[in-house]
Amino acid sequence: MILDPPQSADCTQQVQSALDANAEVVLPEDHDYPVKMVQVRKPQNKLRLDAGASLIGTTYEYADSKALLVAETAEHVEISGEGSVVVFHDDRYAGQHRPCVQIAGGSIGTHISGVQLSSAHGDGITIHAEPDQPPPRDIQIVGVTANRCWRNGISVSCVDGLDIEDCVLTCSRGVAAMAGLAIEPDIPAHVVRRLRMTDSQLTGHERYAFQVQLMKHGEQVDAQLKNCHLQSLGRPTGVYPSSTVGIFSAPPAGDNARIIFDRCIIDGGEGPIVWLKDVAGSDVLFVDCEFRRGLGKCERGDLRVEWSDELPADKVGSLTLVNCRSPHEDFDVRLVGPEGKCHGLRGTIRRPGKQVRVERTWIDLIGV
């Protein structure tokens, strides 16, 4: 069904009724549809935005601050096209975290492709489940652009199977985490399994290109980024650190995370290029990656590994570098923490004119 041109200043009912009554709805080119919130909730529902078509968020009250477009606990729904999904950013509503798109708990096989997400009050895409919901499963995001979101390009708190391919996530700013892709499980039931991101760009973000924030719950996180370009401004916010890649945990940690970067280019900003803090029980692997400074040498180090007294001695994590490189002769691996908290650091970093092989514990490298 091709939707009629907009019928009023608020087209929520027009768009929602069409989706509820038809398997596929097309928003025609060069039309703007102001809406409060639209739910794609029938199995096999399809919403396509033709070139120049837009969903534009209308002014809303705080109680209505849900996503503009919600894939709601349904199987195999699709949101696609060359049009835009835009939330008009108004500073009066800053901090209400209203994303462009939300993929809700219990969703299976949601597919989002081609759309342009811009100026969200919160995330471009939020993938989340309530405590009583199963995680969204087998989600695909392909060829999507998310620009100038007020929080993150994509935020994931819970998912079982997520493929992100050929996406461009740029210029997140506003409220934390201000990242391109943020993984942030926040209750014990939240797991992030089988997350794969390939051939994507995460650039120009205020604080992080890629961030993982583990809490104290022993979350399971399994993520891999392949052939991606990551770059951030790396600007700190108050006492909070910033880096292009940031993987942090709140001790005492019981983490069970495995995160792999494969053939990625990682460019720094004001902060370290990579910052790991208190990631006990987690394994981080960089394979064939290149680390480059963006704004000169950072006083905190290029690759910073930090741990605290609260880190459990029996929780051993590792950082592995396989055939990685940097164009900087003075590339700096900075290790910060009390003695006795040993974690594995091994691998190689190639620098101009030399190759350094590392195969010790983090504690042995303090001061090197």
Does residue 26 fall inside a structural domain? Answer: no
The count of structural domains within the chain is 1
Rounded Cα gap, residues 54 and 56, in angstroms: 6
Does residue 70 fall inside a structural domain? Answer: yes
Other C-beta atoms lying within 10 Å of the C-beta of residue 143:
17
**pLDDT 10s digits, 105-119:** 999 999 999 999 998
Q: Hey, what are 202's tokens?
A: 């995460």
Does residue 276 fall inside a structural domain? Answer: yes
Q: Could you tell me where the DSSP H helices lie in 231-336?
A: none
Does residue 338 fall inside a structural domain? Answer: yes
Other C-beta atoms lying within 10 Å of the C-beta of residue 296:
9
Does residue 257 fall inside a structural domain? Answer: yes
* CATH value at residue 303: 2.160.20.10
pTM: 0.91
Give me the pLDDT at residue 95, please. Answer: 54
**pLDDT 10s digits, 223-267:** 999 999 999 998 877 666 789 999 888 665 556 789 999 999 999
Does residue 52 fall inside a structural domain? Answer: no
Range of the domain at 241: 66-365
Does residue 47 fall inside a structural domain? Answer: no
Does residue 46 fall inside a structural domain? Answer: no
**pLDDT 10s digits, 157-198:** 999 999 999 999 999 988 888 999 999 988 877 889 999 999
Per DSSP, the chain holds a count of helices (H) and strands (E) of 1, 34
DSSP letter at 45?
-
